Amino acid sequence: MSPLISRAKKSASTALPSHERNVRAVRLFPKYPNAMTPSDRALVFDMDGVLIDSEPLWRRAEIQIFATVGLELSEADCFQTTGLRMDEAALYWFERSPWTGPTPHEIAESVVERMVELIQAEGVPMPGVRRSLAAARAADWRIGLASSSSTRLIETVLDRFELRTAFEVIHSAEHEERGKPHPDVYLSTLRDLGLEGCDSVAIEDSANGVTSALAAGMRCIAIPPPETRSDPRFGVAHWRLDSLEELSQALSGIETERNER
């Protein structure tokens, strides 16, 4: 089964014209090397803050770029837009503190460019990424990726960590009609997996991502960073972990609960 990447999320792109949104996916990756009989369950990973320790990089990039138009963001400000597409984050701030000069779209593009530089120079995987992916494959979970980041950033991360063949289906929300907290990117991922939400589990680090997954009818594992663990919006997640390193052990409990449903 060939991995899929949709040109369909943090992204700097605007939505595609309606006649192009029906394009389901573009096959960019080589054949999945360990193809197995597809199971009826899937783990769908978010990327930023789950696979890569990129949230601190996002905050740096946003603070640097927004400062060029006179908007002085703090790290606490940046947490307000965690999980959103970059184009939506730029509009969020423009609506609250309008600036002159570059458009929100251009600012978003600049943030993404800076993020590519930071990831290529400093990006590191979150602890437990490879072990978790291996454990999921060993337990016959299908594996997907549904990210708010643009296709370009997804490819940058997967190339840096040599994970291009780790996922059966990959979706960027950059060309979805709506980004997280709306469910669109998860619904597209489920469509290409051929599964219902109740058959799948999302892994998220942001409250916006948890909301998105639940709206798609999925169950959700929340792995919030220390800075936002007190956010009450994480309370609706089905499970909470302190680290992705705990996922391997948690999978057996998730499977047991699934069998009892």
Active site positions, annotated: 46, 48
Torsion of CA 247, 139, 54, 159, to 10 degrees: 160
Query: 3-state class of 32 per DSSP?
Result: coil
Please state whether the peptide bond connecting residue 38 to the residue before it is cis, i.e. omega within 30 degrees of 0: no
Please give the Cα distance from 72 to 186 (Å, whole number): 33
- With a CB cutoff of 8 Å and minimum separation 6, the contacts of 107 are 65, 66, 68, 69, 90, 94
The Cα–Cα gap between 99 and 69 comes to 6
Q: Are 83 and 124 in contact (CB under 8 A)?
A: no
The number of residues in the chain equals 261
The torsion angle over the Cα atoms of residues 188, 192, 193 and 195, rounded to 10 degrees, is 60
> Residue 157: what residue type?
V
As given in the structure block, the two tokens for residue 100 are 């002159």
- Cα angle value 92/62/86 (rounded, 5°): 50
